[in-house]
Structure 1
């Protein structure tokens, strides 16, 4: 689920058309992240190693933490991006007292593409050492929903250039009743994870040409602006409709939170 309360965070709010979000394509990925600070060269002669290949992107940072990152980029010449894109190398995310970070689109996309997802402490350590510090000791290992090791597994998955058998999104998905912008983000993440999105109701034969282990999933929205009994009734109706559709073509049913949990864990979760 996306935070807070499984809704799109502020950095993702707005319509799908107006938001300069990362456009994902299966065959190729075009368009770099929107770099808002590109200093080009270190302004501090004590900084020991050129880091011009780094592109940082912040996720859920406080204003004070953003100031630290800004100071670091000016000192080192490292680029800072407002949006996520294929040129981003490091996500710097805010964490709570338990070391857990909020789940944002940037966080989930970075897991899928094997980017570093680090605590602000890594920035501070680099500034103190006046040289790049190894990232491993600062990698975030858990999100606020309790899903663990996704960032680490995501990096291994990409570095090994293989699809881990425990995280095979080579499936097709049919999305149910969602806000258009939210549905768009879900679809983009499914595609980035290796899945296929059906823009219509699934029919017999949809899986023809796909690997034999592929499955069609009907994804329904398990969240609502309603509360109490009204929310329970609405979500139950959506689930019933998804199950009725799935029964007609042998598909499986899953709440959208299952997709997000699976991506956050870099491991398909049990239904």
Structure 2
């Protein structure tokens, strides 16, 4: 916070023995598929929608069947509208991913795209895996790519370079921060409109983690937002050796809005699984200031339509605050349902019988951060002066006094702490 706190996606794909391309290619269109007298497809006529072969090899993996996003088996896999695809062909096709419900996404559109591209190895259409070099036009069926000598594989990133571009670097090999930032911009442009409503926001992530978050979002049709916004669905937070996450503005806003706050391990688990795994095992429980349970409590409050954290609390800020710092605090307060009195006149009008009947509490908030004290005054002296000024106002208007840290602690715990 600025001012507040400074499917089989990880399969072993090592190339082994070479194999033939398999049976003659078939298109996925229904008109080419043979039906039995029962109206079902002959199981022997199943072929991968990408490489157009029914043969299952070490390079292709098993042949799976999908209907309306779900994997189907048995007789359900024999109807005409089912799409068959090898595990490896599915995994290495760029825009295919699984949503939070485990449904495969973009399979049909990727099949349509691939079937406009000829394989640089066998010359047949269905080549969904392209060389990662930006201007290279070579594309391959996944099994054919294994048959092509000297292709360079990025197994952790599901990328390849054709034999002519093996000297190029995969994103994980680019050590220059400037080049990483350029790649991040490219990924952000490609997902300017989220396809599934997912909006990720990183919190205190390293440059490497930011890069992989953008890459992960791209593969899932999501948006990565640099700043907090109300559409964020997941805050992805870095953790320290104790499993605690930095208390940032993004994290606190996510608690107030009941959004998921997960560690970066969730991103890694999703990438390894090949689909969006459950968030609960990766939910943040502790921040670096010792507050625990806030993220889960915040989600519970929203899910159960509970009252906002500061619903019956009015705030009056006194003394010097850094402008951006104070703006963040006010945003937290108002997001949590609190009311702001900007002037003493507003504070006076607020402290009336109506507020008393509504059980509203008025808090005078002073700046408890005395780290910027001058060399001529001690921290204790400055803190005493600020508390004294706040208490003077509080006595005049029948209010209570808290340091601004009280706001942060209450939000972090998603619970109003004692007024001290």
TM range (shorter): 0.7 to 0.9
Larger Cα-atom Rg: 2
Among 108, 113, 117, the alignment partner of 2:252 is 108
What residue in structure 2 maps to residue 186 of structure 1? Answer: 329
Instruction: Quote the offset at 1:204 in angstroms.
Output: 5.8
Residues 85-234 of structure 1: pairs in structure 2 closer than 5 A:
85-163=229-307, 167-177=309-319, 178-201=321-344, 202-203=347-348, 205-210=350-355, 212-224=358-370, 225-226=372-373, 230-234=378-382
> Conserved in 2, the CA contact under 8 Å of 1:52 and 1:79?
no
- The CA distance in 2 between the partners of 1:169 and 1:259, in whole Å, is 13
Aligned pair in 2 of structure 1 residues 130, 169: CA closer, same or farther (>3 Å)?
Answer: same
Runs of 5+ unmatched residues, structure 2: 7-92, 106-194
Instruction: Quote the offset at 1:73 in angstroms.
Output: 1.5
Residues 26-41 of structure 1: pairs in structure 2 closer than 5 A:
none
Instruction: Quote the offset at 1:168 in angstroms.
Output: 4.4
Among 371, 385, 394, the alignment partner of 1:246 is 394
What residue in structure 1 maps to residue 404 of structure 2? Answer: 256
For normalisation by structure 2, the TM-score amounts to 0.53
Runs of 5+ unmatched residues, structure 1: 10-41
Aligned pair in 2 of structure 1 residues 260, 77: CA closer, same or farther (>3 Å)?
Answer: same
- The CA distance in 2 between the partners of 1:207 and 1:106, in whole Å, is 35
> Conserved in 2, the CA contact under 8 Å of 1:93 and 1:117?
yes
- The CA distance in 2 between the partners of 1:88 and 1:55, in whole Å, is 5
> Conserved in 2, the CA contact under 8 Å of 1:171 and 1:216?
yes
Higher relative contact order structure (alpha carbons within 8 Å, sequence separation ≥ 6): 1
Deviations along 1:109-136, one digit per CA (max 9) or x if unpaired, are 0000000000000001111111110001
What residue in structure 1 maps to residue 168 of structure 2? Answer: none
Deviations along 1:7-60, one digit per CA (max 9) or x if unpaired, are 553xxxxxxxxxxxxxxxxxxxxxxxxxxxxxxxx9343645447211001010
- The CA distance in 2 between the partners of 1:162 and 1:154, in whole Å, is 10
Q: Please report the RMSD computed on the Cα atoms of aligned residues, expressed in angstroms.
A: 2.1
- The CA distance in 1 between the partners of 2:353 and 2:327, in whole Å, is 25
Deviations along 1:84-126, one digit per CA (max 9) or x if unpaired, are 1111100001110111111111111000000000000000111
What residue in structure 2 maps to residue 17 of structure 1? Answer: none
- The CA distance in 1 between the partners of 2:395 and 2:314, in whole Å, is 16
Secondary structure at the aligned position of 1:102 is classed as: coil
What residue in structure 2 maps to residue 39 of structure 1? Answer: none
Deviations along 1:114-169, one digit per CA (max 9) or x if unpaired, are 000000000011111111100011000011000010000000001111217xx444
For normalisation by structure 1, the TM-score amounts to 0.80
Instruction: Quote the offset at 1:206 in angstroms.
Output: 3.0
- The CA distance in 2 between the partners of 1:208 and 1:179, in whole Å, is 34
Instruction: Quote the offset at 1:81 in angstroms.
Output: 0.8
Secondary structure at the aligned position of 2:348 is classed as: coil
Residues 11-90 of structure 1: pairs in structure 2 closer than 5 A:
43-45=94-96, 47=98, 49-50=104-105, 52-90=196-234
Secondary structure at the aligned position of 1:248 is classed as: helix
Secondary structure at the aligned position of 1:131 is classed as: coil
Secondary structure at the aligned position of 2:337 is classed as: coil
- The CA distance in 1 between the partners of 2:368 and 2:318, in whole Å, is 10
What residue in structure 2 maps to residue 35 of structure 1? Answer: none
